[in-house]
């Protein structure tokens, strides 16, 4: 999740209007409001609308029991800006309806936050730690891809458990041979898609994406994890197999047009490019385009893996 600067500014404004804090790195508004630990983040449903659908999350528990479906439905009906209200465990989540104008969005969040707090109060909800349920001060944390509002004690014990788990994962052996086989199979699929799509007359470039993703996923699937070595092996295979796939694609065309055997056509491709039988600019432009798409597919996948590894076992207190 990455907000654009305009939306970031809006969130920062909303936070300061509500006297809450805005964590720029994790793009979350958090703090204490009316005695309750509050977290406001974009809903996780895709598209551009995404950032305009903030959800308000409050860690609280009531002796009267959790909110029922009927309670939530009735609440939504009574409140104009509410898209949905739900409770899962000790977390009450309210999604604010899409507001196109920044001022309206701020107004909606402010209004619905106040309404929700007074509703929770009237229903006997006590602020608590989302993990253990103790009525102690809870702070917002980012833990392996999600947010948690928890107490200090829970943070310490979660930290310990994650450290143990991480050690276990790290010592899990990587099946390098399996990974290489997986990457090779993936890159074969990629090469096949380069040939097939191109022969069918589609833009071969898109198959660059297929190549990148199949190769990396192939390694990960059969080795158990995508390590640095796996990334290097996959990249080498991608580069090589993209070239091979593209050359086979040309050889098929030459074999068909000139009536030459496929194997000799494959061998002659560089010569044909050199003597201008295949226009060099067309040949290289086409190949570069496919490589460009291989990069477009590979880079986000690799960055995602590296980012996960960085966040793995890390509990970050929102600032």
CB nearer to Zn ion: give 78 or 152.
152
Are the C-beta atoms of 55 and 88 separated by less than 8 Å? no
Work out which of 39, 60, 105, 151 binds Zn ion, going by CB under 5 A. Answer: 151
Q: Is 59 in the site for Zn ion (CB under 5 A)?
A: no
Q: How far is the CB of 92 from Zn ion (least distance, A)?
A: 17
Q: Is 41 in the site for Zn ion (CB under 5 A)?
A: no
- Which positions from 92 to 131 touch Zn ion by CB under 5 A, shown as an x/- string? -------------------------------------x-x
CB nearer to Zn ion: give 149 or 223.
149
Stretch that binds Zn ion, among 16-24, 146-154, 213-221, 287-295 (CB under 5 A): 146-154
Work out which of 140, 148, 154, 254 binds Zn ion, going by CB under 5 A. Answer: 154
Q: How far is the CB of 147 from Zn ion (least distance, A)?
A: 15
Work out which of 3, 132, 143, 176 binds Zn ion, going by CB under 5 A. Answer: 132
CB nearer to Zn ion: give 149 or 193.
149
In the complex, the residues that contact Zn ion under the rule CB under 5 A are: 129, 131-132, 150-151, 154
């Amino acid at each position: 999740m990455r907000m654009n600067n305009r939306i970031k500014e809006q969130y920062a404004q909303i936070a300061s209007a509500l006297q809450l804090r805005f964590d720029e790195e994790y793009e979350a508004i958090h703090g204490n409001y009316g005695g309750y630990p509050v977290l406001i983040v974009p809903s996780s449903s895709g598209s551009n609308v995404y950032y305009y659908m903030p959800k308000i999350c409050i860690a609280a528990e009531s002796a009267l029991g959790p909110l029922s479906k009927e309670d939530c439905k009735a609440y939504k009906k009574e409140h104009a800006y509410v898209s949905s209200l739900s409770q899962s465990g000790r977390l009450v989540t309210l999604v604010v309806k899409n507001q196109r104008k920044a001022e309206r969005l701020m107004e909606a969040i402010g209004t619905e936050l106040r309404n929700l707090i007074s509703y929770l109060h009237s229903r006997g909800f006590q602020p608590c730690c989302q993990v253990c349920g103790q009525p102690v001060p809870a702070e917002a944390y980012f833990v392996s891809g999600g947010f948690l509002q928890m107490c200090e004690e829970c943070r310490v014990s979660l930290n310990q458990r994650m450290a143990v788990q991480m050690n276990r994962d790290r010592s899990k052996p990587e099946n390098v041979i399996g990974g290489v086989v997986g990457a090779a199979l993936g890159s074969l699929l990629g090469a096949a898609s380069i040939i097939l799509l191109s022969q069918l007359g589609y833009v071969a470039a898109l198959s660059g994406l297929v190549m990148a993703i199949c190769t990396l996923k192939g390694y990960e699937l059969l080795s158990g994890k995508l390590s640095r070595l796996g990334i290097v092996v996959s990249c080498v295979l991608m580069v090589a197999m993209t070239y091979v796939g593209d050359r086979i694609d040309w050889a098929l065309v030459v074999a068909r047009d000139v009536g030459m055997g496929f194997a000799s056509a494959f061998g002659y491709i560089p010569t044909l490019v050199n003597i201008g039988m295949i226009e060099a600019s067309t040949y290289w432009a086409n190949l570069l385009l496919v490589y460009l798409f291989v990069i477009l597919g590979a880079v986000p996948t690799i960055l995602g893996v590296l980012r996960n590894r960085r966040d793995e076992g890390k509990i970050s207190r929102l600032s």
